[in-house]
Structures are given as C-alpha cells and as structure tokens.
Amino acid sequence: MKNILLISIFALSLVCCNNPSQRGKSAAADSAASATPRVDVPSFNKDSAYAYVVAQLAFGPRVPGSPAHEKCAEYITTKLQSWCKDVIVQKCRMAAYNGKMLDGKNIIASWKPELKNRIVLCSHWESRPWADHDPDPKLRRQPVDAANDGASGVGILMEAARQFSIKEPTIGIDIVLFDLEDYGPPQDVSQGDDKWWGLGSQYWAQNPHKQGYSARYGILLDMVGAQGATFLLEGFSQQNAGDIQQKIWDTGNRIGYSSFFLYEKGGFVTDDHIFIMKYMNIPVVDLIQLDKSTESGFNSTWHTTHDNLASIDANTLKAVGQTVLTVVYEEE
C-alpha cells in the first residue's frame, strides 16, 4: 500500500451502498456486557499464523519475477488446497509504471461457492522490490522482506482458512490474495497515477474469478502484524463501507481488543480496496495500521529493510485474526 491523503477528489467517484458513519464509540462497544462472541467462534491460533508468516519470509523477498516469488506462490496455493477444495490461481500480466511487463498470480480460495451471501477477505502476498523509505539511502534499492506489509495479512488469512476447513461458516467466503500490489514507483520517481499500485487487485476487480461475482462486503488486511499496532478508521472505508467498518471495530472492542481498534479517524489510503469498490461496487474496509506519529502516516518499518520478522508480534496477529473470525462466524 502506497499513498495516504487527508482528502481526495477520487473518493467522490466511489458509489458503494454504505454511507460513512460519523458515530464515535457505539453502544455495542461501550457496553461491558460480554467479552465473548455471540456464537461459537473458533479460537484463532496466533502461533499458527506467526508460523505462516515465518514460512513466507523463509523464501526471501517475494519480488515478482524472482524464484522466491514463484516458490512462495506454490507454497500458499498448496496450503490452501489442503484446506479448501475450490482454489484458483488467476494468472495476470500487467504493465508496471516503467513499462516492464509483470507476471502475477492472484490466489483465490472459496468456501460454499454456490452461495450468493458472501464475504471476501483479502491481502497481498508479494514483496516490494525497493526499500525506498529506508533511513539509510544506501539500502533504498534493496528488496523488502515484507513481513508486516504483506506476509502478516496472508498469515492471518491462512490461519483463517485452516479454521474454515475445520468448521465452515454459514455464509460463503472467498479469500483473495493479490499479487503485484506493491510495485509502484520508488519514492525518487514521479508517483504519477495511482493506477500503478494494486495491479493484482485491479485485474481481479475487472476480471473476477467467477462471472458475475459479488459479495456483501469485503475486509482487506494490510500491515496487520506489527508490535504495538493500533488501527484507525481509514477514510475511504468510512465513506463507502462505514457500517461494516463500525461492525469490525465494535466486534474487536467487544471481544477484548480495544487497545488495538481505536475509534479515531485516519487518513485516506490508496490500497486494494479502492479498486474493488470502484470496479465491483463491493464495499470494502481497509484494516490497516495508520500511525499519526510518523512522516509517512504508516508503521515506521513501511517500505524499509526493517520490515522483517523482528517487527512482527503474534499478539497483534491474534487481535486481528480473532476479530475477523468473529465477524465472519457471527454473520447469517
């Protein structure tokens, strides 16, 4: 994920059905009632999710076109196939900002594909080729391990997939892992159009894996594993999926993760959810760490060589993973 803005005219062009909520902390979160889910929700295994992050990083930076990228795609696909009978690898060929043609793979796993009542859960799985925000200028052309900015969301969704294989939710679920998300221009190159980011999600949103595909809403996980992470209300999500965003934050607070899910407004982020909302009209919440204390507005390891395994906290994976599982299993 790329740019963070306080305002954006592009937001006005999105036409999803949910209007933004200006509410603060809702009665559901205010209530000290029960810190347990309303239905029988599996316990999210933080150690399992952490192990999936470790496994991704073991291949090295998953830069498109590299052996690590190819091997990691095989690993993720094989693991998902062990938990889900409906797995698709959607190949795409997209032009990067510099004209280079990139071969990508969106990896999609579906539970109860026959149901129209669905939720889509997504993240990106590849690594940024350049640590262009590294504090050391000499390292700014090094590839990024992408432990938090990529692998953390994938690790959470892999553990969710494992749980779905044990106990299926009552609704249809699609896990979509995007490729070619983070190949946008380096910082010292003109940023140009936002179209150079989220190439895999742009492709999927315009060429869904199933003709006529739709979902009630989506949750995008991006940078969801760092130590000390807190999650603010991302602007485009609030504008276009405000009720769903409120539900997620209320759920996280209700089940004991109020220190992670803060009812504070964050910036507007150009991320995969933008293209899903634009091309598919599906409201999507970007669950992303925003940090007002940094110049970038993101975690301090963002697009640096410090985005490595040392930055990951299994407790953050647990907070996000258990919240997402609870939202999913409480749906009817």
- pLDDT reported for residue 258: 98
How many domains are contained in the chain?
1
pLDDT (mean) for 28-48: 73
Q: What residues make up the domain containing 122?
A: 4-330
pTM of the model: 0.91
The model's confidence at residue 5, banded by pLDDT at 50, 70 and 90, is: low
- Give percent of the chain above pLDDT 90: 84
* Model pLDDT for residues 51-104, shown as the tens digit of each residue: 999 999 999 999 999 999 999 999 999 999 999 999 999 999 999 999 999 999
User: Is a pLDDT exceeding 80 seen at residue 14?
Assistant: no
Structure tokens at 210: 């199933």
**Kindly report the CA angle at 158 between 146 and 270, in degrees rounded to 5?**
45
Average pLDDT in the chain = 91
Residues 6 or more apart whose Cβ sits within 8 Å of residue 282: 16, 120, 214, 215, 216, 217, 218, 276
Report the SS3 class of residue 318.
helix
- pLDDT reported for residue 219: 98
Q: Are 285 and 219 in contact (CB under 8 A)?
A: yes
- pLDDT reported for residue 252: 98
DSSP, res 184: P
Structure tokens at 217: 């809403």
DSSP letters spanning 193-245: -GGGS-HHHHHHHHS-SSTT---SEEEEEES--BTT--EEE-HHHHHHHHHHH
User: Is a pLDDT exceeding 60 seen at residue 19?
Assistant: no
DSSP letters spanning 146-167: -IIIIIHHHHHHHHHHHHHHHS
The whole-angstrom separation of Cα 11 and Cα 143 is: 31
pLDDT (mean) for 300-314: 97
Residue 40 is part of a domain; what is its CATH number? 3.40.630.10
Residues 6 or more apart whose Cβ sits within 8 Å of residue 30: none
- pLDDT reported for residue 2: 62
pLDDT (mean) for 276-299: 95
User: Is a pLDDT exceeding 80 seen at residue 33?
Assistant: no
Name residue, tokens 């390891």.
301
* Model pLDDT for residues 135-169, shown as the tens digit of each residue: 999 999 999 999 999 999 999 999 999 999 999 99
Q: Tell me how far apart the terminal alpha carbons of the chain are, to the nearest angstrom.
A: 31
- pLDDT reported for residue 18: 39
User: Is a pLDDT exceeding 60 seen at residue 17?
Assistant: no
* Residue count (the chain): 332
| Beta pairing, strands 101-111 & 86-95 | antiparallel
The amino acid that residue 236 corresponds to is F
- pLDDT reported for residue 36: 67
Q: Where do runs of H (alpha helix) occur along the chain? A: 27-30, 46-57, 67-83, 152-166, 199-206, 235-254, 272-280, 314-330
* Model pLDDT for residues 86-100, shown as the tens digit of each residue: 999 999 999 999 999
- pLDDT reported for residue 8: 38
The whole-angstrom separation of Cα 47 and Cα 314 is: 7
Please say whether the dihedral angle defined by the alpha carbons of residues 126, 45, 272 and 10, taken in this order, is positive or negative.
negative
The whole-angstrom separation of Cα 15 and Cα 306 is: 38
Maximum Cα interatomic distance, the chain, rounded to a whole number of Å: 56
**Which secondary-structure segment (H or E) carries 263?**
strand 261-265
Report the SS3 class of residue 175.
strand
Name residue, tokens 């953390």.
152
